[in-house]
Amino acid sequence: MSAAPARAERAGLAPAAARALFRDGLVTPTSGFSDGHAQANLIVVPRDWAFDVLLFAQRNPKPCPVLGVLDAGEVEGPLLPGGDVRTDVPLYTVYEHGEAAGTRTDLLDVWRDDLVTFALGCSFTFEAALQEAGIPVAHLEQGVNVPMYRTSVECTPAGRLSGPLVVSMRPVPASRVADAVRITSRYPAVHGAPVHVGAPEELGIRDLAAPDFGDPVGIPAGHVPVFWACGVTPQAAVLASGVPFALGHAPGHMLVTDAPNWQYQVP
Amino acid sequence: MSAAPARAERAGLAPAAARALFRDGLVTPTSGFSDGHAQANLIVVPRDWAFDVLLFAQRNPKPCPVLGVLDAGEVEGPLLPGGDVRTDVPLYTVYEHGEAAGTRTDLLDVWRDDLVTFALGCSFTFEAALQEAGIPVAHLEQGVNVPMYRTSVECTPAGRLSGPLVVSMRPVPASRVADAVRITSRYPAVHGAPVHVGAPEELGIRDLAAPDFGDPVGIPAGHVPVFWACGVTPQAAVLASGVPFALGHAPGHMLVTDAPNWQYQVP
């Protein structure tokens, strides 16, 4: 296993160099790697399920903004030139018959030629824009993974797929909520504007301190919990829908792509 | 056949009322109907081709921004509640084995239960925003259909589908080109920012006065031809790819949807 580079070094790594570290066995959340480049959620399903997943994404664009799709069996593409989607993510999840079947550091043993890989936008992209605007990002300041919650909001079903909306949460100073809405709206390809501001109970979230994925973060006084759609949503749908076989990234352990963040910005 | 309503009356028609006129036989371009509601391009293919079309759209989001997908055999949905996609568009096109096989005023005789309908965003939405900003829209002022051109730019292929990018053209005063870019960028779901400004020869367009679809418009002095991706692109791909059977709207004869324009705007 590779040694983890220091924080400043992570930010400056070219995406291909970051992927090489993960390919060589480094297991770590990818937040902070390769500044200015989009990171992606993964969902990988057999070809027979690919239309359902792509339609689910089309009908639920806030949690499932598709950045790229590899053809069945393909392991490399424009988002990861020269890479290999089976090895270049630090940690993967495996799903069988709608149940989590553990994590893996590579997919070489479980890969099949009929597997179609979807890469979805990740909120790490707009976090950089929030920070540039002086809006604090609590989980980065606290050095933990972003908290994520399954909600009581059902996604729009598509074919055989249905499931709950998963959201990420960031506390935002009340005076900056409007700015956070405006700034993140400019990045529809990486979840865009929040889906919910305040009132977590309306999302069916009982305890902000007990996220379903990631780590809890404290909410400072005068801050409001703001919820964005999360790219773990299709994995929740795979679980809820009993998909026979699927693969994903482990939450927070993303695919570092060559795509520059700026190309996903609208005015 | 219904009588065509006057211009002021068209603008104020509820979308369902406009669709009812077309269902009753009115054949006319839909520009100017039901102000404030999105109009949509259609592409309808057998279920066996649906993943290819949806993947083509994902890989070519500027010409093919998907607003909605009906399941195989469905003729009604959230974009046209109480409507029927087989009858509610003024004029349709039929494609067989990669060749245009004529136009029809309804699809009742050719409908099949395995047909999947895709509705794609249409630039009519951002034209309203351009006009509000005082940017003239030449084809509206001249009372003709927008000019559209097949280009020499190839779309990104997907599965069995490939074909040229089709663009629409609007002349814009040189002093307002930046505004037109900024304003239309706010509507990524209806083609978004221009794909090309000036230099039509770089797109392989030899004569702006001879569009492939729609009508020619004059380019006033001091105006620059500005090109946006066009929702006729998937129909061009159906032609170029030899799809055995497909249906679409006739260019300019759109599906008038219930979706308000504002919901497709980003800051």
Average pLDDT of the segment spanning A225-240 = 96
What pLDDT shows up at residue B267? 80
Q: Which long-range contacts (CB under 8 A, 24 or more apart) does B1-9 make?
A: B1/B25, B1/B26, B1/B27, B2/B26, B4/B28, B7/B32
Task: Decide if B180 is inside a domain.
Answer: yes
What pLDDT shows up at residue A143? 86
> pLDDT tens across A207-225, in order?
999 999 999 999 999 999 9
How close does chain B come to A98, measured CA to CA in Å?
23
B/e letters for B198-227, b = 16+ CB within 10 Å, e = fewer, are eebeebebeebeebbbbebbebeeebbbbb
Q: Are residues A137 and A221 in the same domain?
A: yes
Q: Are residues B110 and B161 in the same domain?
A: no
> Cβ neighbours of residue B82 under 8 Å, at least 6 residues apart?
B16, B76
Write down the H helix ranges in chain A.
7-12, 15-23, 50-59, 124-132, 138-141, 177-185, 233-240
Q: Are residues A113 and A12 in the same domain?
A: yes
Q: How many domains does chain B have?
A: 2
Q: Calculate ∠ Cα B148-B150-B151, nearest 5°.
A: 120
CB contact under 8 A, A55 and B58: no
How close does chain A come to B158, measured CA to CA in Å?
8
What pLDDT shows up at residue A1? 52
A71, A116, A195, A266, best to mutate vs chain B, most B CBs in 10 Å: A266
What pLDDT shows up at residue B128? 87
Closest CA in chain B for residue A181: B267
Lowest-confidence region among A3-7, A140-144, A163-167, B70-74: A3-7
Element containing residue B201 per DSSP (H, E): none
A43, A47, A52, A54, best to mutate vs chain B, most B CBs in 10 Å: A54
| Residue spans of chain B under pLDDT 50 | none
Q: Are residues A34 and A163 in the same domain?
A: no
Please state, in angstroms and rounded to a whole number, the distance separating the CA atoms of residues B171 and B218: 8
Q: Are residues B23 and B151 in the same domain?
A: no
Q: Are residues B84 and B118 in the same domain?
A: yes
Across the interface, which of B54, B159, B188 has its CB nearest the CB of A58? B54
B/e letters for B10-37, b = 16+ CB within 10 Å, e = fewer, are beebebbebbbbbbeebebbbbbbbeeb
Q: Are residues B113 and B161 in the same domain?
A: no
Across the interface, which of B54, B66, B193 has its CB nearest the CB of A51? B54
Please state, in angstroms and rounded to a whole number, the distance separating the CA atoms of residues A165 and A86: 26
> pLDDT tens across B89-131, in order?
999 999 999 999 999 999 999 999 999 999 999 998 899 889 9
CB contact under 8 A, A188 and B59: no
Q: Are residues A97 and A219 in the same domain?
A: no
Q: Are residues A16 and A93 in the same domain?
A: yes
Residue A191 maps to which CATH number? 3.30.2040.10
Q: Are residues A78 and A201 in the same domain?
A: no
Q: Are residues A140 and A15 in the same domain?
A: no
Residue B98 maps to which CATH number? 3.40.1640.10
Confirm if A44 and A37 have CB atoms less than 8 A apart. Answer: no
* Mean pLDDT for all residues in chain A: 94
What is the distance, to the nearest Å, from the Cα of residue B228 to the centroid of all Cα atoms in its chain?
A: 11
CB contact under 8 A, A188 and B192: no
CB contact under 8 A, A55 and B54: yes
Domain encompassing residue A62? 7-123+235-262
ipTM of the prediction? 0.75
A45, A48, A49, A51, best to mutate vs chain B, most B CBs in 10 Å: A51
Q: Are residues B162 and B252 in the same domain?
A: no
Task: Decide if B59 is inside a domain.
Answer: yes
